[in-house]
Amino acid sequence: MGGEFRTAYVAITMGVALMLIHYAEFYHMTADDRIKQQQSELMTDALSGVYSRHAYVKAVEAFKSSTALPENTTVFSIDINGLKAVNDTAGHDAGDVLIVGAARCIQSVFADSGPCFRTGGDEFIVLGQMTQEEAENALLRLADETAQWSADKQIKLSLSAGYARGIEHEGFTIEELIKKADQAMYTAKTNYYKQNGLTSRGLHYAVEP
């Protein structure tokens, strides 16, 4: 009788031990999955679906690890015109629609040229590899995408864009090239507001010399 009890006790103990081992393996697997999911969420902007500001910081750090910018490095800075006016008059849901629309238009044009990041409320950066001709053609395509998107919506999308190419700014760091692209975008935005006020449609762009 005592032997049978000991045998049963050992069996139960081994069974519990195996359950704990399997549970531990399962827990670590799901923990790894959670980590991967969290990393993915950090790298993706929740609203627009393009890369996040966190991913942008990582990308800039990767550029900084190189002694020189890759050939044909081209930075685009793109911003939505009149977003505050839309938020104030039509509500933030309408503003979110514009942000998502802008992201889709930009992604459609630049997906094969380099990653697109949402770096702020209505601010986007593309870190691309393009020739001068490809950059100009990309802006034309972005204008078409913006117009087509606006044609199907009650609210209209207007973008200001600027770009700068590393080959034209020898010795620049990636941060300096981004600053040049930002300056070009702000030039385009200033001209847009002078000409159109707070509401219009289409693409307005400039290249910073």
Q: Is 152 a catalytic residue?
A: no
Q: Which of 94, 83, 79 shows the shortest CA–CA distance to 199?
A: 83
Q: Which of 32, 88, 96, 122 is catalytic?
A: 122
Strand ranges (E), 81-153 = 116-118, 123-129
- DSSP class of residue 168 equals G
Buried b (16+ CB within 10 A) or exposed e, 146-177: beebbeeeebbbbbbbbbbbbeebeebbbeeb
| Cα 194 from Cα 204, distance rounded (Å) | 12
The span from the first CA to the last CA of the chain, in angstroms, equals 94
Q: The tokens of 67 are what?
A: 């002694």
Catalytic residues: 122
